[in-house]
Copies of this chain bind each other. A is one copy, B any other.
Amino acid sequence: MNKRAEERRKQVLRATLKAISEKGFSVVTLQDIADYADVSKGVISYYFENKEDVFYHLLEWMTDRIFQNEYAAIQKESKAIDKMRAYVNAAFKSPEDNRIFYSVYLEFLAQVNQNERFREVNSNFYKNCWFIGSEIIQKGKSEGIFTNIEVESGSHMIRALIDGCLLQWLMRDDEMLHSYYRDNCYDAIITYLNYKDS
């Protein structure tokens, strides 16, 4: 039955996420994943073509979840400034979640140069992120703020800053800094967007 298969695949992907976040991308074995998923090694080969295929689907699943979460967050707000805040808050969900997701995401990014499929998934994720940024900026413009910002490049810079901040936070390995980076990231974006030539 298709439903069972879908459940199994999810089970494997969740286990893979956990395994990578704890052991590291290049160290994780199919046996590790099987152990975390509480299934036999054969199951993985049964539902996925090979190890790389598991990783591919994990990246797809992860980035989609992040996007869905962020997009849902901005939908709940009506004003551009609130949407922006919601976007950053969603990106900086929590130290625990960010640690797991971002450290694994980082491993994928590192593989992008060697894996065209990973690149495509990330390319799509970027488009979604920029879409969020664009929506917020355009909403702002319609509200009469963010007037000096180009929509496209603005959305690029917003995501660059979010990713740059999360990366720096992750590297500093101090959960206390999570709100520091979240707030400074938000402030920097707002400052950047609101700039008015004197």
Residues of A at the B interface (CB closer than 8 Å) are 21, 23-27, 103, 106-107, 109-114, 119, 122-123, 126, 153, 156-157, 159-165, 167-168, 170-173, 180-181, 184-185, 188, 191-192, 194-196, 198
Contact = CB atoms under 8 A, between A and B. Distances in A.
Contacts of A163: 164, 167-168
A164 B173 CA distance: 18
Given A110-B106, A110-B107, A196-B198, A167 B167 contact: yes
Of A21, A161, A188, the most chain B CB neighbours within 10 A belong to: A188
Contact of A162 (B159, B164, B181): B164
Nearest to A194: B195
A32 B25 CA distance: 21
B171 A157 contact: no
Contacts of A25: 26, 110
A160 B168 contact: yes
Dominant SS among interface residues on chain A = helix
B109 A167 contact: yes
A24 B25 CA distance: 13
A181 B160 CA distance: 10
16 contacts: A21-B113, A24-B111, A106-B109, A112-B170, A112-B171, A113-B170, A119-B171, A157-B165, A157-B185, A160-B165, A160-B167, A160-B181, A161-B164, A162-B164, A192-B195, A196-B198
Given A24-B110, A107-B110, A164-B164, 14 more contacts: A24-B113, A25-B110, A26-B26, A103-B110, A106-B106, A106-B109, A106-B110, A109-B167, A109-B171, A110-B110, A157-B161, A160-B168, A192-B195, A196-B196
